[in-house]
Amino acid sequence: MLRNWAARISKMFLATMIGLLSIVGGAGQTWAAETTANLDLKVSSAFMIEASTGKVLYSINPDTPLPPASMTKMMTEYLVMEAVKNNKIKWTDQVPVSEFAFYIAKMSDSSGVYLNMGETHTVKDLYEAMAIASANDATALLAERVGGSETNFVSMMNKKAQELGMTNTYFATSSGLPVTSLGQYAPAADTSKDTVMSARDAAILAQRLITDYPESLEISKKSRYVFREGQPNASKLANNNWMLPGLPSEYQGVDGLKTGFTDEAQYCFTGTAQRDGMRVITVVMGAGSKLKRFEETKKLMNYGFSTFKLKETLGKGVPVPGFENAPVKKGVELEVPAVTKETVNILTKVGEETKATPKVVYNDLTAPIKKGDVIGKVYFETEGNNGALKKDGQAEGIDLVAAEDVEEGSWIRLFFRSIGQFISDLFHSIIG
């Protein structure tokens, strides 16, 4: 009996130590982005990831803060989606045009839908105008609706950027317009400090936007859009993303995400496309023309889809071999079966077999535990593969969940278990 107790305790200890070692090993590892391909990109910076894994596929000057122009609006989109999710606003809310939004609508060099004083529009209509037509006036009105003012909303943007791990980003306006162009409505006390974002940060933001709010792609994929539909002053607009179906630079699988242009930023684009179950996110900044940003993006996407593929490693609801059970404190059972919460894919190069080694980290578990509770994560280390973006400063992984309930043990059960543990430790000290 003592031997069985000792074996059981040793097994729990070994599983825990393996998990802890995987944390140390994963945290200390530095990966290089894919650099073997020479795509001859004519841009200031470029970045590409596979969306589900965050693996970096290509990188040029990824961490240089540059003016992103209207790619800034991805953060405004994120915060609007978040506000809807948290029931702070509704898509059907009617928003009257403010003096600030009207001021921007009158700017001759600002894209917009020409909002007029006295008009009201739904949050949904304004969001579509922002995401599809890059309307600065609609963006400003949404910022006021969510944040109360442009100043408050910009503070929310910068706070969220920190939460998402965007370390080379600063927001000065909700739209990406230069702060000095907002005149009396400029939110920043220091108008010499304008919006900047790195290509990596743009990819982080895009990844979180489409992962946390996949419905955003249902809007960004629209090639054309009508604002004030059915009204005499309706505005018929084409999406600024020319890679969408029916537009000049159409590319199979593209369904987002956001363009940008100012004199300082030049032409920028955060794109995303999905083929054969794999989605890439690309960023180009500082391209020389409207068309050039899509040509350079096409090079990235061609390279990504022709060079990499996703391979299923584990299905949904299955145990990780070698890590089938997680240790539990104060439970009727000492362990709980652990299974994957979703399908686990790894990224591999086309034509190559990539060995994937699972690393599991269990949470510190105390009964009671319910079936479906997240109890840990599984990470896969792959040979010769690229590093991944981090989510909220943490390495990406797939959740492991409890496959069954574990009830809390009674005091008498726990008392005798502690006696057994004491005897087991004493036995080991004698024979050691």
Taking residue 170's Cβ as centre, other Cβ atoms within 10 Å add up to: 16
User: Where are the alpha helices (H) located in 278-410, listed in sequence order?
Assistant: 290-307
Under 8 Å CB-to-CB from 170, ≥6 apart: which residues?
Answer: 65, 158, 161, 193, 195, 196, 197
Residue with tokens 């278990």: 417
Q: Just list the catalytic residues.
A: 70, 73, 134
What is the distance between the alpha carbons of residues 410 and 415, in angstroms, rounded to a whole number?
A: 9
What is the distance between the alpha carbons of residues 305 and 275, in angstroms, rounded to a whole number?
A: 7
- Is residue 368 within 8 A of residue 408, CB to CB? The reply is yes
* Number of residues assigned to the chain: 432
CA atoms within 13 A on the CB side of 27: 9
Q: What is the DSSP string of 99-157?
A: HHHHHHHT-TTS------TT-EEEHHHHHHHHHHH--HHHHHHHHHHHHSSHHHHHHHH
What is the distance between the alpha carbons of residues 59 and 363, in angstroms, rounded to a whole number?
A: 34
Q: What is the DSSP string of 13-71?
A: HHHHHHHHHHHHHHHT---PPP-S------SSEEEEEETTT-BEEEEESTT--B--GGG
Residue with tokens 């743009």: 202
- The CA distances from residue 20 to 167, 168, 389, in Å, are 27, 31, 21
CA atoms within 13 A on the CB side of 208: 26
